Each structure stands twice: as C-alpha cells, then as structure tokens.
Structure 1
Amino acid sequence: MMKTRLKIYCGVILCCGLAAGCSTTKNLPEEEVLYTGIKEIDYGQKSKKKAKKKAKQKEEEGVITSLADAYKAVDDLLTQRDLSVLKRKEELTQEQKDSIAAVQRIEEEAYETAKEEVDAALAYAPNNALFGSSSYRIPFPTGLWIYNALVGKKSRFAKWLFDTFAGTPVFISTVNPKTRALVAQNTLRNYGYFNGTVDYEILPEKNPKKAKISYTVRPRNLFRLDSIAYLRFPAVGDSLIRETFRQRTLFSGDPFSVINLDAERTRIYNMFRNSGYFYYKPEYITYRADTIQRPGFVQLQVVPADGIPASANKRYYLGRTTVNLFNNDSYELTDTLQFRDYTLYYDGGKKGKIPLRFGALRRNLFYRKGMLYRQDIMSFVQQQLSEMNVFSTVNLKYVPRDTTALNDTLDIEITGILDKPYDGEFTTKVTSKSNGQIGPGLSFSMSKRNAFRGAEKLKFEVHGSYEWQTNSTVQGRSSVINSYEYGTSLSLDYPRLIFPGARKFSRRAKTSTSFVLDATWMNRANYFGMVSLSARAAYTYQARPTIKHEFVPFRLDYDELLSTTATFDSIMNVNQALYVSMRDQFVPSMRYTFTYSSPRKARNPRTFIFEVKESGNITSGIYAAFGKPFNQKDKKLFNVPFAQYIRFLAEFREEFRLTPRTSIATRVGTGVIFSYGNSTAAPYNDLFSVGGANSIRAFTVRGVGPGSYIPGASAYSYIDQMGDFKIEMNAEYRFPIVSMLSGAVFLDAGNVWLLDADVNRPGGTFDISRFGKDLALGTGLGIRCDLDFLVLRFDVGVGLHAPYDTGKSGYYNMPKFKDSLGYHFAVGYPF
C-alpha cells in the first residue's frame, strides 16, 4: 500500500512538471519578473566592452587610493611639504616606504571590510539557489515547476501537493534592488566612503519574465580620522575619560567607521555606568564631524548630547538591601530577619525556618553599603543569583532613597521565588562516547535543590546503555562490537568553593565544588567484564566568560576485571603493556584543565583546551617517606598495584564563518602520556586512540595505529591499537541543504604511537622520518539534522591512506573502494 502511494505521488509530481512544460514562469503574475540571481557586483575592477578606457582610467585612479594619495599621506605623516621630486620608488627613504606601506595596508583592510558588508547587503538568494548562493542555482527548479503547474488549483490533493512541494517564486520586486542599493551605499558611508555610490541594472534574459541584477559599486576615496577631541563633559566625567584614554577605540589615522564610533560610545557609556552614573544612557553621547578643514580626513568631536537630565550627571551610591524570599507554593511573607544593612522577608512556615540560609545568599552579593553603583558588579550579582539554581525567577530593583534633588542613594530590592525542591528526570537518549561507540541509553535521576538550605544540589542517578559499532575496515572485514554497561552515581554540588579561605577567591567569579561517587559495571562483548569505582572532588573557577579553570585535587579510581574470555586472555598474554594497563589497579590522580573560548560574538569562534593529569606521585612520595624508593616497581595500595604516570592533552578548534550559514570548522589535537616509577604502562582508559565517529571517520574505533603496526587476523584485535602519543587533525566544510538539514565535507588525519618499542607491535614507535606515511588520511560526506535541542549526524568516511601495509603500493593504498568506507551515526557535531 505504501509503495503504491509513493508511486502515485511520484507520478503526480512528474506529471505536474510535464504539465507545466518545465516552465518556471508560465503562471507568474503579469506584473512580476522572476529573479534569477546576481549577475555581478562590479567594484570598478572589471572593465566593460563599451568603456574600456574609462574603466582603465578609473582603475588607475584606484578604488581605494592611488600612489599619489599614498605620497600625500606620507607628506601628512612626515610633515614634509615636497615629495613631488621623488619620482622613483628607489629615491624614497626607508621611513617613507614604510609609511606608504602602512597607509596602503590600513586602506586595503578598510576596503575589504566594507566590501564584505556591501556584499552582504546586496546578497539575495534566488529560487533553487546552490548552498544559499546569490549567483549560482541548482539546474532543476522542481519547486517552481510545481508552483506553475498547481497554482490556483482547488482540489484537496493539488492543494496538498502545492503546500508541500511548491516553491514560492522570488521576484525582482521581492529583492527590491533600489532599496538594496541605497542600503549598500549607506554601508559604504558607514565605513568611511562618503562619496561612494551603488547603482543597479536589471538585465532581462531571453525569457522576458526572467531577469538578473547587476550592481556597480564605486567606493571612491576613503576618509580617515584626523583630530579627535572629547569636549564639554563634566569635570568628573572628563577625568574618567582621560584615565581610560588608552582603552579608546578611535585613533587618528584610522579609517572612519560607524562601527568604531558605536564601540567608543558603548565604552564611554559602560565607563560612566561603572563609575556611579546609574541613569546614564548611550544616547547621551554624540559626535560632531568636520570634513571641510582637511580634505579626505574627518575632524571629530565627542560631546554630550543636548538636554541630558540632571540625574544622568549624578553619581549614585548603594544603600540598604531588602530581600523578598517567596516559596514556590506561597506568596506570603510572614517572618523577618535583620542582618546589619540587609533585611530579609520570608515565609518560615510552622517551624519558622528560613528556606534559604542568608549566608548562601550573601556570598553572591559582591557589594557593600556606601560603594558607588557599578553596572558590571551588579550584573554579575544578577547572574550569580540566577545560577544558584534555587530560584525559578529572581530580579534586582534599584529604588531611589527619596525624590529630592540632593538624593544620591539607591536602595536594592531583591525578589526571588524559590523553585520546586525536587526534580526527577527520565531520559531516553542516543549516546555518542569518546571511544566512538554509539547506542541507546536510559537514565533516571532524582535531584534535590537547596538540599541543606545552602543552595546545594544532591543528585542520585542510575543509568544503562547498549552500544554498537558498525564500520567497514580496510581489510574488508565487517566489525560489529556489542557492549553494554550500567551504573549509578551520587553527587553533591555547591555553587561555591569549599575550602578554608575560599571566599577571597570567589569574588566576582563563577565557582563550584562537586563531590561524586560512581560505580559502573561494563561488559565488552567477547572480551571482558569490569567494574569501575570512582570517588572525586572537583573545583571550577571562572572569573571571565572566556576562561575556565577546573581542578580535581583528588580522584581515586579502582578497576577490577570480573571476567575475561580466552580471546582476551590470549591478547593479554602476548602483550605485557596491555596486561599492565588492564589489570586490577588503583589510580590515585589529580587533574587540571584550562579552557579558553572566544566571546560569543566572535566572527570566527575558537577554543583552546589544555589538560594535565598525574597519578601516583603523591602516593609514591608517601611511600618514599617511609623508606621505599620513589622509582621502585610494584608498590601496592590496599594490596593492589597503583598507577604512576603523567598525561598531557592539548586541543585547538576554530570555526571560520564564510557566510551566516556556511563555515569551515577545524581541529588540531595532540597528547602524550609518560609512565614511570610504579608503572610500565598507563591505565587502558587513559591511553590514546584514533578512528571512529568523532575522529578519523574513514576508520573504525581504534582502527589505526600505533604507527604502521597492523593488527593480526582477529576482527577484534582493535583492543590493543592504543598509544602513548597522539596527533590528530580535522577540517570540515559545513553548508545548508534545506530547512533543518545541512551537509558537510570533511578531511581527517592522525595516528597514535608508542614511546617505547614493543616487539609485539612492530612499527608502533614514533619516527619523524616516517611521519607523513604514518598519518592515516580520510575524507567523506555527512548529513546533519538540527532539531534545535539535538543534532543527529550521519557521516560516510572514505579512506585515502592507511599507515600500514595493505598490499597496494602508492600513497592511495586502499585495496578496494567499498572496503575503505566507514559509516557513522552519531549525536552532535564531531568537534
């Protein structure tokens, strides 16, 4: 039945296309012309047949500046009056050459910035645009065919087809090139091209119902800033401007830019608001410009606007604080507490207990009575109160002490409604783990907010998952690895640092402390069953939005193999390093992670992560204090060996945004682990591997390395393809397809290596002379479905080079194309 319907739908759509005669204009409104894209945007650098000489003359005059303009700029900079005698470049001094180069560089950068914005103002995608392009189209405009075949049809089925598959035509009137040209012209002026013009021409095609648009942009000369003066500000404001003068965004010689003017206005506004001027607004700052005194330059004055109210020029101080603390099920305030300059109103119920201890609230109030109002501090207070995770809503209100002209005090009123104390969550999800395995997972958690009336969060969770991996391998074997795990965890989170003297570190910083107990039982099919127990304490510290520190001063892991298979035992028997990494052992460790993320508004967001983890040194140090050498092997903790190693990991990511919906995402990562003292090998879970859905997608999980080592005949010998040293590089071009679907073209490279030679894994050590050959290389295509709350991803990787002997010579050494494919279904972006 379903197949029959599908055939009917396809047949109807095909008939609609044929009925329309493959026409995209047959049933368009009479007065409309179909827009088929931008023919060109001419910036005066392309000559036209009818005016070659004129265009050449314009080009010689220069879109940005001519050499004569540069000479004049040098004359202005060096205060020399006669450079006309310097006919040849070699007659210029080095200082003059550097000045010319500097001026040209500034103006070229200004031109590129303005050009990018003008292109964006003129861009408009036609029907069936290729990846959102304004100039290139897909050759089969199915949506327009269906529109012309079914527009005006009244049958229910025709309406359904029309609403589902028809594409709304984009008309010339929709694009409105006149308005777009005016917007682009204003954009030029916003970037200092005051004499710039933008014209357009509608170019009819053979079919008079279709037309393209051509734009002609003439930036002409760029105006730059000359003198900059800050005038008429009150004495205190003038002093503040002078004190922060180095932070200004306007400099003599820079191109005129409305963006920079807005940035300077915002800077001054924030400076005033952070200095007590509570009622100050950005519109109270204005500019006066003169372009007559010096041609090509702008003499700028930054001045207060007319009619500023008296309250805006007054500095205000903070007064008393009132807190209204409402329960989630009651809006009555029956009890009162007074703490110095703070008054707390709340509903204590029958027992009269305060629902949130004042100390927990007070830790987030980073101000005191009598201090000047500061916008940055009070905004941070608002943020901290919201992130306590005990309020459903919380807000701050500033109330003038009185209405007299002499009043300079603002009292603070904090109103918060406590959230419901208990939160249960049952989740069904698809997990994508760092080892590349994916599968369905279930979890149930129960949390109690404000567990001990100090904004703590107590959480208990049970979880389980089933994981599989399906990929082809270079050798042509299919690998289906089924595993499952289940576990439980108990955590206690504090929205502050918990250690003596922690308050001074928490000032104006986002901090937290976590204590966690974990227990996980794992089964890896055909290999082993293992239990892992873990206890840890973790601190996070974030004084700035872009930088985050995480420190785990104590973590103790215990791994015990509950069962093994003959296959696993055979691997362990021939690989001593693997045996050491997988044996029963304690892992006492500390870890520090530094994360830098660029501001949210950054055009090309970037992230840098650095992590260092050490294990066993403190324990070995304690043993050394009692007479056992630091480097002695096989020392034990509770009669079980413990690991000793240090591990470094670094990763850099940057996304280059080409258009609002297209970008190139890149990642470079490396890591190294040194085992010493009590260990000859690090624990298995801390070793490095590559391959899989979030790594080199043409290869399976742990399907590469170490080095040029190739595993034996077992389809499951992936388990020992781990290394002490890792390098990985990824690049991915992301583009929209339609609606919530987007695509990607990617290139992945990387491998892992051993630091010490292993006779059981020949070719596994790092050799710089073989570095290029040892890098596994793969490419491929992917589709993403962005559901806002979840991103589903399907990638097909294609192997280009395997670092080991595949029986085929040359750099492209894939034996068969079908055997070089890797299929990955995952959740979220790979990086």
Structure 2
Amino acid sequence: MKNKLNIYCKYFLASGMTAALVSCSNTKFLKEGQLLYTGAEVKIENDTLPKKKKNELKAALEENLTPKPNSSFFGLRPKLYAYNATKEPKKEKGLRYWLKYKFGEEPVLLGDVDREFNKDIIVNYSENKGYFNAKAKYDTVSKNKKAQVIYTLNPGAQYLISNVNFVQDSSLINQEIQALKEKSLLKPGNPFDLDVIKSERQRIDDGLKDKGFYYFNPDNIIVQADSTVSKNHQVEMIVKLKDNTPKLATEQFTIDKVVVFPNYNLRDAKNGLYNIPMSEDSLKGYEYNDIYVVDPKKKFKPRMFDRALYFDKGDIYNRKDHNLSLNRLISLGVFKFVKNEFVVSDSLNHKFDAYYVLTPRELQSLRLEALGRTNSANYAGSELNLNWTQRNFFRGAEQFKASVYGAFDVQIGGPADAENIFRAGANAQLSIPRIVAPFTFNSSSAFVPRTNIQLGYEFQNRTTLYTLNTFNASFGYQWKENVRKEHELKLIDISYIDPANVTPKYQAKYQQNPYLERVVEPQLIYGPTYSYTYSTTMLPQKNTFYYKGMLDLAGNITGLITGANVKEGDEKTIFGVPFSQYAKIENDVRFYHKFGEKTSFASRFIAGVAVPYGNSEHIPFSRQFFVGGSNSIRAFRARTLGPGSYDPRPQQENGGFVFDQAGDIKLELNAEYRANLYKFLNVAVFADAGNIWLINDELNDDGQITRPGGKFSKEFLSEIAVGAGVGLRLDFSILILRLDLAMPLRVPYYEKGERWAFDRINFGDSSWRRDNLILNIAIGYPF
C-alpha cells in the first residue's frame, strides 16, 4: 500500500510539474512588451441584487465579451503550445501546417482586447435588461507576461413594469391585437427586458398572421417604455401600431383560388422565381373540391392534394395552415422541392390565390448494395441487397419497396464441418399516406399519417446444424402528433418459423441445453405491437432528450378464449403449431448535453422485461433480449454475455460453437464523453454496464439447471457487467465510421468477490490483450 501511495504521489508531482512547464513555455514565445490575454472577469457591485440574479447577469456579460482567450484544458493550453512550438511551414499542407494552423491557436494578446468596446457592451446589455443607470469601469492585472481584465459594473436598480397599455382604436387590425393582449409576455412586476419586448412583437405578428394579415411584420409594432408616469424605478409599457405602417399590412386577406403544379421543374423558370402562368387560359388542368390541379398527364390523384392542403376557397389566410400544408406536402415523400406563393387577385376585396409549385423526386429507384464483414468468432462473409422503390405506386404517393438479398458467413481456417451460415430472403412493403380503416382518422399534424403493410420471407441455413424458414407479415399505422411525438401501432404482427434439416450434431447439443432446442421449434408469434417515441434531439439546445417505449403482446386474446395453460399440460395449437403467448415491454431513454461546439456528453438507459404465460413457458428465442457488441456493452462480444452470472465459456469451448445468450430481462446503461479534434476526426471516452437475466430457470431432462446463475434475483446488482474504452469516429457527413476499443472492468461470471478485473489488467501480456481488448468497428454512433 505504501509503494502504491509513493507511485501516486510521484505521478501527481510529475503532472503538476508538467503543467507548470507547459504553462510557462507559452509565454517564452512572446515578444518584448507583449502580454498573453488569459480572459476577463466581471464583478458586480450591488448589495441589493439577489445572488442568483447577480450570477446570471455576470455569466451573461462574460459570455458577450470579446475576444475569447486561448482554449485551455485543465489549466493547460495545448493548442497554443502547438502553434508556438511548431516552426513556420514551407507549404500549406503537411503535418507541420496542420499542427500550426489547423490544430494550433494563434496567441490572443492583451493588445487584441478593446477594453472600451467591452465596457460599452456591459453597459448596453445591462440597460437592455432594465438597469437604466448602469455604470462600468475596467482594470488590467498583469503578472509573468500574462494579463487579465477586470470589469466592474454598478448596475443600479432594475426597472420593473408597472402596467402594460395596448393603445386602442376602431380598426379591424387593432381589434385583433386587443384580442391577443391577454397572453402578453409583458407582465406588470416583471423586469424591463429588451429580449422579451422583441419576443412580444413576434408573438403579436404570429397571432395576426393566423388572422389573415399576411403582409404584417413585427417591425410594424412599437413598444415604448415610459418611466415618467411611475416612481420607484418602474416603467409603463405602451404597445401600439407604428404611424407609418403600410396599408397593405393592415388588411385581412382571404383565399380565392388554390392552384397546384405537381410536375414543376425548376429549370423551366425564366422570369421570376417560378414563372407561373397566372391567366386561367394558360392553366391546363382540372378542378377537384375547389383545388385546381395542373397535371395534364394525371401522374397524381387529386385526392392526395385535398388531404394535404388546409386552405379552401373563401378561407381567411392562416399562418398555421400555411405551414401545415407545406409540411404535409413534404412528408408525402414524393416531392423533392415544395414552393408556395400568394398572388393578389382582388385587391379591392383583399383576396389572393395560393399557388403550390411541386417538383417530383425520381419516382422509381433501383439500388444494389454489397458489403463485407468479419466478426470476433473468426467468421467472414458478404451480403448482397437489391432494392427497388416506387414512390407513387397507385398515383397517390404510396411508397412500395421490394428487396431481395443473399448473404453468407464462413469460418476462416475452420474445420471442414464448420458451422457456416447462408441466408437469403425477400421483403415487400407498401406505405400508404393515410389511415386505411373503417373509422375516420383526422390529423392536424404537419406529418401525414401512414398505413404500412409488409410481407417477408427468409431462408437461413447453418450448414451442419439446422435450416430455418421464417415468414412474417404486419399491418399497422404510423403517425406523428408533432415533431417530438411519434406513434406506431401494428394491429397484427405475425411471424411463423418453420425449421428443417436439424442435424444429429445439433440435436446432441440441445439434449443438455434445452434453450437451444427452442431455436429449432416451430413457432407462431402474432399479436399487436405499439411503440411511442418522444425526442427533442432535433432542437438547437444544450440539453436534449430521447425516449422510446415499446409494448409487444402476443397471443393474448387467443390464449384467453381457448383457456390455454401450458403449465397444466393444456397447450393449444393452430394448424398443429403452438402459438406464443407473452407480454413484453422495453424502454430506451437517452440524454444528451452539449458543453460547447466541440464537446458533448451522451447517455442511454435501457430497461426491458418479457413475461411468458398461458400457452408459453418461455419467450420465443427471436423475441428475447441480447447484450454485447458494438451498440451495446462493447467490452463483450455480441450475444456472449449473460444471462446473469452464467459462464458461457465452457460451452463455447466445447466444439467451437458459439451460442447466442438470450434473456427475458434486460438492464443497460451507457455513457460517452465526445470531443472533436479536427474537422471530421472525433474521439470518445465511454463506459457501459448491464446484463440480461431469465425469469425462470431452465431445466434439462434430468432436472438440472442448464444455465446456473441465469435467473433474476435480488443479487442482480452484483451481476452487472462493466466495460470501458476509447473510441475514434471519422465523420464523413454521408457516413460515420466508428472504431471503439473496449476492455472489461467487471465480469459477472467470475467468482463472487473477484468480479472487478482491475487487478487483472496487463497491457504487456499478449494473451490478456487478445482476450480482453475488444475492437468494435461499426457505422454510426451507438446511441
């Protein structure tokens, strides 16, 4: 223990000396009279200002100061050092140029700081936040060729809003403004805030746009602050139309005609943006429910436009319906560009025509994909996919996708009877941009709801073990409430697995491992599934959140009607095949935090459970949970971890066959710190933890537990696997190539009390590296 303490002391001493040397080494490059700028601090002198508000004001002011000092990492400035220590490159390329001008940072000097300008920024920002009597000064502190600027602010008292007055008159637009004042952002008692005033003007503009005032602009609103009518640092806010507001901005417009050009080509534009023919004589089309469609070849059914467009003849213009119509046209998925223009047709009666100019995508596409792969079990293989897409299958923006594929995986240097794998299959999917049902489904979402129908078949042959024929079909709906919330309901999701050619070799294996027998049992799985997704990851904010919950119910109604109870020997079948009955739920929660433009933190938590009952004693193998691999716990190879504290190694070593480990309960936690080094080059430090468990022990014919330690118990926390590692990500925009190197820190199948593996780490041992350093190569981020 004493030796370890000495090592730690030496390490920290060396680290401190290194930090001091690197810090000092940056200043030796400065010329005579130059001072390295290390940043600024704002001090606020106000005893009456609450601490929280003082800290908020201080943080906001410091954020607005310029320039920013050289970036630092734990007190060091490695990028500045790279710039200083690297000689001037002879060419604008190569390692030296990259170190100095791409990775490195030019020193920020005190002479680069305009202190008077920053002082003005501090005063102006304070005044915009209601500190009308703000005063500021600055002082410069220098030492050892480094300088810091201290700005001192005396903000005075913050002015509060005494009351808000919306000036009235008899005009139509003023009546609409008066109707909006109840939800005003300007509240008596709140501080004066220029940003809130700007938001209030925008709010009024949005409200008027929804009432037909298409040509209105936020700049037409003026908000005046009068501090003469009140005392004790209060102001009255006066909201009114500017006197020079254009007449057109005060007129309420209605829709005259709605015209759709579904086959417009942007290359045809000559004069103006669209070059649309405005006279009815030149519009060669037809009318459908007050929508005029210019589609001479009738490539599209007009009904699809009637569903997507929310404007009808005679409607008052509404900004929400305007955006809703554009978004729904885009979400049909058949148009590459969607443009919109309003043209005044009757200025006397305040009417305009709505023109929708749509440029179709290529309606058909054929894509051939080929890929090669290897995995940790010494398998190498290839896959070939042929995909055909038709985006307007029945002329109503129905998307039809068909694909055929073939793949093989063979053991490299394996025995003659190696378990090589061959797969082939076909899939067909039809996506209809509406809800096909005997009931009416009205959606005011910006996203078109869809009905999805899917059919598929796969042939899988493990050459020395078995063959599986898998048929699947589903019918259901997908719809989004808004950009954050999405639902998917499959009313029926059917899978039928028909095994064939089960070899004596595999039969011998499942005699002692009954869970392997379930892989080659005929299976019929059917029932509804539902998933709900909530995400804010598309929003430009520091903290974002993602959640997806899934519920899978199989055979419940049939099991209830038939009274199936496999535990009492009453197993029911359909066409001679037992149907599965279970309930499964899975939750995936993710949290993302951005520290800055180049650094972020990402985390994920997964919890799932699947419970068999009625006609099933076990969950079908294909619907169980798995962990390990490039998108899970990366320190363990895919599907080799768990369940619980079960040790799969003896089974894997017996005959070289790697069993996929599956469970009924899953817990997983992942965390990553991500940073950008240079343009497309990103790095990450990560940690993963979790495992899977069984609900019931599995017994062989002799009544022995086949996977001891696999059942979920109160000891589950001691059976959590932990791994950590570092990653390199190459972000090429069109794809992200990810390389993650991980090692186990806690192994659940080691003896209890010895599961933490820190004392086993030995990077100098080649056999340890081979068994414990797991390289994961993947496309895209793990979460």
Give the TM interval when normalised to the shorter protein: 0.7 to 0.9
User: Per-residue CA shift, 1:584-642, capped at 9, x if unaligned?
Assistant: 21211211111111261343111121110111124435656xx9999974322332222
Name which of 220, 224, 231 aligns with 1:288: 224
How far apart are 1:646 and its partner, in Å?
A: 1.1
Distance 1:796 1:25, change over 3 A: same
Distance 1:299 1:219 in 2: 24
Distance 2:428 2:106 in 1: 58
Distance 2:665 2:120 in 1: 57
Letter in 1 for 2:631: N
Is the counterpart of residue 760 in structure 1 residue 706 in structure 2?
A: yes
Distance 1:807 1:449, change over 3 A: closer
In structure 2, what is the equivalent of residue 229 of structure 1? 164
In structure 2, what is the equivalent of residue 701 of structure 1? 638
Aligned 8 A contact 2:464 2:505 in 1: yes
Distance 1:243 1:430, change over 3 A: farther
Distance 1:278 1:520, change over 3 A: same
Distance 1:256 1:306 in 2: 24
In structure 2, what is the equivalent of residue 678 of structure 1? 615
In structure 1, what is the equivalent of residue 548 of structure 2? 609
Secondary structure in 1 matching 2:452? strand
Aligned 8 A contact 1:432 1:826 in 2: no
The residue correspondences of 1:653-802 to structure 2 (distance < 5 A) are: 653-715=590-652, 719=659, 721-758=661-698, 759-768=705-714, 770-802=715-747
Letter in 1 for 2:100: A
Q: Output the TM-score relative to the length of structure 2.
A: 0.81
How far apart are 1:551 and its partner, in Å?
A: 0.7
Letter in 2 for 1:787: F
Distance 1:497 1:375 in 2: 26
Distance 1:712 1:494, change over 3 A: same
Secondary structure in 2 matching 1:120? helix
How far apart are 1:560 and its partner, in Å?
A: 3.0
User: Per-residue CA shift, 1:412-439, capped at 9, x if unaligned?
Assistant: 1222233333222234568999x9x998
Name which of 492, 500, 522 aligns with 2:430: 492
The residue correspondences of 1:161-560 to structure 2 (distance < 5 A) are: 163-167=97-101, 169-172=106-109, 179=117, 182-183=120-121, 185-194=123-132, 206=144, 211-216=146-151, 218=153, 220-221=155-156, 223=158, 225-232=160-167, 240=176, 247-291=183-227, 293-326=230-263, 335-348=284-297, 354-404=298-348, 407-428=349-370, 441-464=383-406, 485-505=423-443, 509-522=447-460, 528-560=466-498
Aligned 8 A contact 1:643 1:679 in 2: yes
Distance 1:120 1:438 in 2: 53
| Structure ranking higher on relative contact order (CA contacts 8 Å, 6+ apart) | 1
Is the counterpart of residue 150 in structure 1 residue 88 in structure 2?
A: yes
Is the counterpart of residue 41 in structure 1 residue 49 in structure 2?
A: no
In structure 1, what is the equivalent of residue 61 of structure 2? 118
Aligned 8 A contact 2:135 2:154 in 1: yes
Aligned 8 A contact 1:802 1:813 in 2: no
Distance 1:384 1:692, change over 3 A: same
How far apart are 1:377 and its partner, in Å?
A: 1.0
Aligned 8 A contact 1:574 1:760 in 2: yes
User: Per-residue CA shift, 1:752-793, capped at 9, x if unaligned?
Assistant: 22222332222222223x243122222222222222222222
Letter in 2 for 1:575: N
Distance 2:218 2:266 in 1: 41
How far apart are 1:540 and its partner, in Å?
A: 0.9
Distance 1:266 1:632 in 2: 70
In structure 2, what is the equivalent of residue 573 of structure 1? 511
Deviating more after overlay: 667-676 vs 181-190: 181-190
Letter in 2 for 1:804: Y
Aligned 8 A contact 2:542 2:593 in 1: yes
Distance 1:429 1:256 in 2: 61
Distance 1:743 1:755 in 2: 39
User: Per-residue CA shift, 1:140-162, capped at 9, x if unaligned?
Assistant: 8334333xx336x5xxx687666
Distance 2:407 2:131 in 1: 61
User: Per-residue CA shift, 1:115-136, capped at 9, x if unaligned?
Assistant: 4443433476666x446x9x64
In structure 2, what is the equivalent of residue 636 of structure 1? 573
Secondary structure in 2 matching 1:451? coil
Aligned 8 A contact 2:134 2:154 in 1: yes
Distance 2:398 2:616 in 1: 39
User: Per-residue CA shift, 1:451-495, capped at 9, x if unaligned?
Assistant: 22111122222335567999xxxxxxxxx9986644322222222
Secondary structure in 2 matching 1:269? helix
Distance 1:183 1:621 in 2: 72
Secondary structure in 1 matching 2:346? coil
Letter in 1 for 2:188: S
Distance 1:166 1:805, change over 3 A: closer
Superposition RMSD in Å: 4.0
Aligned 8 A contact 1:808 1:815 in 2: no
Distance 1:257 1:399, change over 3 A: same
Deviating more after overlay: 252-261 vs 455-464: 252-261
In structure 2, what is the equivalent of residue 828 of structure 1? 780
In structure 1, what is the equivalent of residue 585 of structure 2? 648
Structure 1 gaps, min length 5: 1-21, 45-57, 67-103, 349-353, 471-479
User: Per-residue CA shift, 1:674-729, capped at 9, x if unaligned?
Assistant: 11122111121211122222222222223332222222413367635321111222
Distance 1:601 1:206, change over 3 A: closer
In structure 2, what is the equivalent of residue 88 of structure 1? none
Distance 2:570 2:589 in 1: 36
Distance 1:568 1:264 in 2: 72
Distance 1:518 1:591 in 2: 17
Secondary structure in 2 matching 1:400? strand
Distance 1:692 1:160, change over 3 A: closer
Distance 1:680 1:277 in 2: 65
Q: Output the TM-score relative to the length of structure 1.
A: 0.77
Distance 2:92 2:562 in 1: 83
Distance 2:120 2:242 in 1: 28
In structure 2, what is the equivalent of residue 597 of structure 1? 535
User: Per-residue CA shift, 1:643-685, capped at 9, x if unaligned?
Assistant: 1111111121111222232222122221111111221111212
How far apart are 1:285 and its partner, in Å?
A: 2.2
User: Per-residue CA shift, 1:332-372, capped at 9, x if unaligned?
Assistant: 97843123523222323xxxxx1111112211112322222
User: Per-residue CA shift, 1:299-319, capped at 9, x if unaligned?
Assistant: 433333331122222222222
Distance 1:684 1:306, change over 3 A: farther
Deviating more after overlay: 316-325 vs 244-253: 244-253
